[in-house]
Chain A
Amino acid sequence: MIKKTILNSAHRQLGARMVDFGGWDMPVNYGSQIDEHHDVRNGVGMFDVSHMTVVDIHGPQARSFLQYLLANDVAKLTRQGKALYSCMLNEAAGIIDDLIVYFMDAQNYRLVVNASTREKDLAWIEQQAKPFDVTVSERPQLAMIAVQGPKARQKVCPILPDRLGLSAAEIKPFSACWFGEWFVGRTGYTGEDGFEIMLPEDKAEGFWSQLLEVGVKPCGLGARDTLRLEAGMNLYGQDMDEDKNPLESGLAWTVAWQPNDRDFIGRSALEAIKKQGLSHKFVGLLLEEKGVLRGHQTVVLDDASTGEITSGGYSPTMERSIALARVPANIGETCKIDMRGKLKEATVVKPCFVRQGKIQIDV
């Protein structure tokens, strides 16, 4: 049976077009995906992301466990509330999932993992946790609302309960604060400032209504996808999976090689791959002709070798088509894309197109 978040009827009341998103009945848009995209870039929008999985790691060995579990190093998290993006690898250095870990205190960390990978993630984390003195607790009773855009903080802080608004106004990017069961991270998946707010399910509808009242626009998963694509943020299952390692997925920056003696899952395999040299790299593409780049289209290099678009689409901010692609490492400044049988010209760029409302590449 299809799963529903606590906000399902709220979405339907707003006239959302609903789709089956990995087994969840979720809003894809509330009218126009492009309008919602611009709302986030220029003002403020909100997304129901309650389908995402929250996992708390608690215990005296929480830190050493996460140093073993994750390719990035939680030892970097020294200030309470600080967040870190990381891959969780298998022994072969394939990506099981990407996630955000928040440092609450030495014995408590919070992970937010993808909804589509929930079962395998939980099984893997529990399996790996066995030798450690930690407990792994999923928190399915928490709803999650992402409020994103340059006006997000000014809209959200005044309506948070109790003292939380004051704390939330103070926290730095990629940090969190909490009060009771409410948890506010200054994180997101859009390339804009904003918050991801976890809260008790029975408070979610009320808070969603309050956000609507202060002018926050509801946005669906369609806009979430074009925003993250513009921001050059990977989507698990499209841009990477268990057959791909972080080094060929544009995520080398998330692998903490230092200290040398930190043994994390996948390290030795990843070191061997690095030593051998990488045949492929992860790039951004900008289509120079009319049309829309799509996932799985073939990228053709000058020497006739090929790569693949992993995520493609239309950029409402740039009014051009853009993509993320995994291509042979010798790719030049331009390439061709096989679009429905026709070869079209594209420019190779850094995989970060728009951040903080600004276009990052020469168009």
Chain B
Amino acid sequence: MSNTPDDRKYADSHEWALLEADGNVRVGITDHAQELLGDLVFVELPEAGQSVDKGDECSVVESVKAASDIYSPVTGEIIAINDALEDSPEAINDSPYDDGWIFIVKPTDASELNELLDAEGYQNLVEDE
């Protein structure tokens, strides 16, 4: 059974979004998503400073099996990217919710997070797949 922490929100495209104390939103992919993809071998990161709309493709993760687009779960500006993934994409497999984070968005309107699923809602979605 994959792990779904309840401190964050989830998109039905399998990203998680964590609202941090400073009001920024940290983004990564779920344990379920990394399990489906298998070993990650390459991550194409967005650029810091890039503006994104909610639902924009802004990153690509590639595994031994497939390439998968990562969509921004909120509108805003990308203020940080996880450079460590360039050399260690496997961090997403080993630690999808911590070391495997992908980028941080400074949201224009943090209330957009309310439109995402909570942990229980995401679990139900995964079980129905």
Contacts and interface: CB of A to CB of B under 8 A. Distances in A.
Interface in A278-314: 290-292, 294, 313-314
Interface stretch (A28-36, A47-55, A117-125, A171-179): A28-36
Nearest to A19: B65
Interface in A25-44: 28-29, 32-34
B64 A226 contact: yes
Contact of A292 (B42, B90, B93): B42
Nearest to A36: B39
A214 B89 CA distance: 32
B60 A340 contact: yes
Interface string A79-103: 0000000000000000000000000
Nearest to B38: A33
Contact of A291 (B62, B65, B90): B62
Interface residues of A, number: 16
Contact of B35 (A17, A292, A340): A17
A32 B67 contact: no
Prevailing SS type, chain B contact patch = mixed
A314 B42 contact: yes
Contacts of B41: 34, 292, 314
Interface in B58-97: 60, 62, 64-67, 90, 93
A321 B65 CA distance: 12
Interface in A218-244: 222, 226
Nearest to A291: B42
Contacts of A294: 66-67
Contacts of A291: 42, 44, 62
Nearest to B36: A17
A29 B66 CA distance: 15
Contacts of A33: 38-39, 64
A223 to B, nearest CB: 9
Interface of A: 17, 28-29, 32-34, 222, 226, 290-292, 294, 313-314, 321, 340
Given A34-B90, A313-B64, A321-B42, 10 more contacts: A17-B38, A29-B38, A34-B41, A222-B38, A226-B64, A290-B44, A292-B62, A294-B67, A314-B41, A314-B64
